[in-house]
């Protein structure tokens, strides 16, 4: 089904909601033009919400998120949610979009307005006040910007305003919750995955063949957007350290710049691989629609980046039965059980990260045991069913 930018609402509101339907309408709001971790988690939530209890609607910008949501049968309402920071039309854009969301919420008889991202929250909070609906804010990052802001006081001040506006706040980890000034109204709900999609028996050999990686070579990999805080540069330094001791190891870097960021970082990374002398044994795949084959091909999964507000790919690696080696900061200690499902090392200590990987490459039985433990932890703690149940409980409390 195509998206018509001239029609904000995909179909008439009366066709979307039956007046006497037993389910309750929720207006989800997300601004992203591409699919990041927040959008992937939102799509799973929309897919698994009990439609006998909830009728989700999505207000978003035109793009892949709207297309995927409509494929799930979720009514989509296309709207402008422009970037506000340093915008010359800040006040006009803010008022216009907030009023539009408020009108939409009344039109579909939404019982709650649910912001899935920070920018969405900046529009949804005043919209909820105008529509006299409760505002639910899902905070998935440490900061209101993508990286630590220059003026932390300003970040804290806006967080306080959003917390005051929100009937309830959901944080995707305890690490994120600790950064919020409203502990009394914050519920921690970890992200979940569709466990059935992660088959322990998936053959990684076709992936290796595609990228010319020998079947019998140890393979260490990472998955993440090609951005500095995801840790591609520490990963390459780790690879150089490992190759000094074990020259038969191969490495794979999965990920690209899926938000169309134009800078020199990708060239910096490939240039560093050449300078370190590891380029011949490091494979860069770019963006992959499906990371499961790459995970199946790995012997050890590494998460070498800055503190993560969550880090869904670590759960995906565990679900594929792979031990995880990571810096022990951010939300990683909530996901990886050190010594049981993987190894956590001191943050920023690349040699320690490398030694942890080497220790696992040398012990196949330990790798298999940790992989099995990781799969069990994914099954018991990080399923989408559990996430949906906990989010539904929060929405019930808000309503």
Residue 4 has pLDDT above 60, yes or no: no
pTM above the 0.85 mark?
yes
**So what's the pLDDT on residue 22?**
61
Residues 6+ apart with CB under 8 A from 47: 72, 384
Instruction: Please state, as a whole number, how many other Cβ atoms lie within 10 Å of the Cβ of residue 279.
Output: 16
Domains of the chain are 13-192+383-398 (3.40.50.2000), 195-381 (3.40.50.2000)
**Are the beta carbons of 273 and 295 closer than 8 angstroms?**
no
**So what's the pLDDT on residue 352?**
98
**So what's the pLDDT on residue 217?**
97
Mean pLDDT of 365-377: 98
**So what's the pLDDT on residue 260?**
55
Confidence grade of residue 3 (pLDDT, cut at 50, 70, 90): very low
Mean pLDDT of 22-50: 92
Longest dimension (CA), the chain: 69
**So what's the pLDDT on residue 15?**
40
Residue 367 has pLDDT above 60, yes or no: yes
Q: Which of 14-18, 34-38, 132-136, 249-253 is predicted with the least confidence, judged by mean pLDDT?
A: 14-18
Q: Which of 21-30, 46-55, 123-132 is predicted with the least confidence, judged by mean pLDDT?
A: 21-30
Question: Whole-number mean pLDDT of the chain?
Answer: 91
* Closest to 32 in 3D by CA, of 109, 135, 141: 141
Q: What is the per-residue pLDDT across 199-241, written as a single tens digit (0 to 9) for each?
A: 999 999 999 999 999 999 999 999 999 999 999 999 999 999 9
**Are the beta carbons of 345 and 157 closer than 8 angstroms?**
no
**So what's the pLDDT on residue 259?**
54
**So what's the pLDDT on residue 21?**
47
Confidence grade of residue 176 (pLDDT, cut at 50, 70, 90): very high
Confidence grade of residue 100 (pLDDT, cut at 50, 70, 90): very high
**Are the beta carbons of 391 and 45 closer than 8 angstroms?**
yes
* Cα end-to-end distance, the chain, whole Å: 32
Mean pLDDT of 14-23: 48
Mean pLDDT of 164-173: 97
Residue 178 has pLDDT above 60, yes or no: yes
Provide the angle, in degrees to the nearest 10, between the axes of the packed helices 37-48 and 64-71: 20
Q: What is the per-residue pLDDT across 144-158, written as a single tens digit (0 to 9) for each?
A: 887 788 889 999 999
CA distances from 57 to 29, 70, 319, 341 (A): 9, 10, 30, 38
DSSP-derived pairing of the beta strands 135-139 and 219-223: unpaired
Q: Is 290 exposed, middle or buried (0-12, 13-18, 19+ CB in 10 A)?
A: exposed
**So what's the pLDDT on residue 40?**
92
Name the CA radius of gyration of the chain, rounded.
22
At 226, phi and psi to the nearest 5?
A: -80, 75
313-337: string of b/e by CB count within 10 Å (b at 16+)? bbbbbbbbbbbbbbbbbbbbebbbb
Residue 257 has pLDDT above 90, yes or no: no
Residue 82 has pLDDT above 90, yes or no: no
Partners of 59 in beta bridges: 29, 77
Mean pLDDT of 36-55: 95
Confidence grade of residue 17 (pLDDT, cut at 50, 70, 90): very low
Residue 175 has pLDDT above 80, yes or no: yes
**So what's the pLDDT on residue 86?**
64
Residue 270 has pLDDT above 50, yes or no: yes
Q: Which of 143-147, 195-199, 277-281, 379-383 is predicted with the least confidence, judged by mean pLDDT?
A: 143-147
Q: Percentage of residues in the chain with pLDDT exceeding 70?
A: 92
**Are the beta carbons of 114 and 104 closer than 8 angstroms?**
no
What CA–CA distance (Å, rounded) separates 157 from 96? 23
């Amino acid at each position: 089904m195509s998206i018509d930018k001239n029609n904000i609402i995909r179909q008439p509101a009366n066709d979307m909601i039956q007046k006497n339907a037993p389910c309750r309408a929720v207006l989800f709001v997300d601004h992203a033009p591409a699919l990041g971790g927040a959008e992937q988690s939102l799509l799973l939530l929309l897919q698994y919400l009990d439609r006998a209890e909830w009728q989700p609607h999505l207000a978003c910008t035109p793009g892949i998120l709207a297309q995927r949501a409509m494929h799930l049968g979720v009514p989509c309402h296309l709207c402008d949610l422009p970037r506000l920071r340093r915008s010359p039309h800040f006040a006009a854009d803010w008022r216009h979009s907030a009023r539009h969301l408020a009108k939409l919420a009344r039109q579909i008889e939404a019982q709650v307005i649910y912001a899935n991202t920070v920018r969405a929250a900046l529009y949804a909070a005043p919209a909820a006040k105008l529509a006299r609906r409760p505002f639910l804010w899902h905070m998935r990052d440490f900061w209101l910007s993508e990286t630590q802001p220059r003026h932390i006081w300003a970040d804290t001040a806006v967080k306080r305003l959003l917390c005051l506006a929100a009937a309830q706040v959901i944080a995707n980890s305890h690490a994120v919750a600790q950064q919020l000034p409203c502990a009394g109204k914050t519920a921690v709900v970890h992200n979940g995955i569709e466990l059935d999609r992660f088959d322990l028996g998936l053959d990684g050999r076709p992936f290796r063949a595609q990228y010319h990686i020998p079947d019998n070579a140890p393979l260490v990999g990472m998955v993440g957007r090609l951005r500095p805080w995801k840790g591609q540069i520490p990963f390459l330094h780790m690879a150089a350290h490992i190759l000094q001791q074990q020259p038969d190891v191969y490495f794979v870097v999965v990920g690209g710049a899926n938000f169309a960021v134009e800078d020199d970082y990708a060239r910096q990374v490939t240039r560093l691989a050449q300078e370190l002398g590891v380029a011949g044994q490091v494979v860069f795949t770019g963006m992959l629609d499906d990371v499961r084959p790459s995970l199946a091909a790995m012997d050890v999964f590494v998460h070498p980046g800055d503190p993560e507000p969550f880090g869904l790919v670590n759960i995906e690696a565990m679900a594929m039965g792979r031990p995880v080696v990571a810096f022990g900061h951010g939300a990683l200690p909530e996901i990886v059980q050190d010594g049981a499902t993987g190894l956590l090392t001191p943050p920023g200590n690349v040699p320690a990260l490398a030694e942890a990987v080497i220790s696992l490459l040398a012990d196949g039985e330990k790798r298999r045991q940790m992989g099995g433990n990781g799969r069990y932890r994914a099954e018991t703690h990080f399923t989408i069913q559990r996430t949906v149940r906990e989010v539904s409980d929060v929405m019930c409390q808000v309503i």
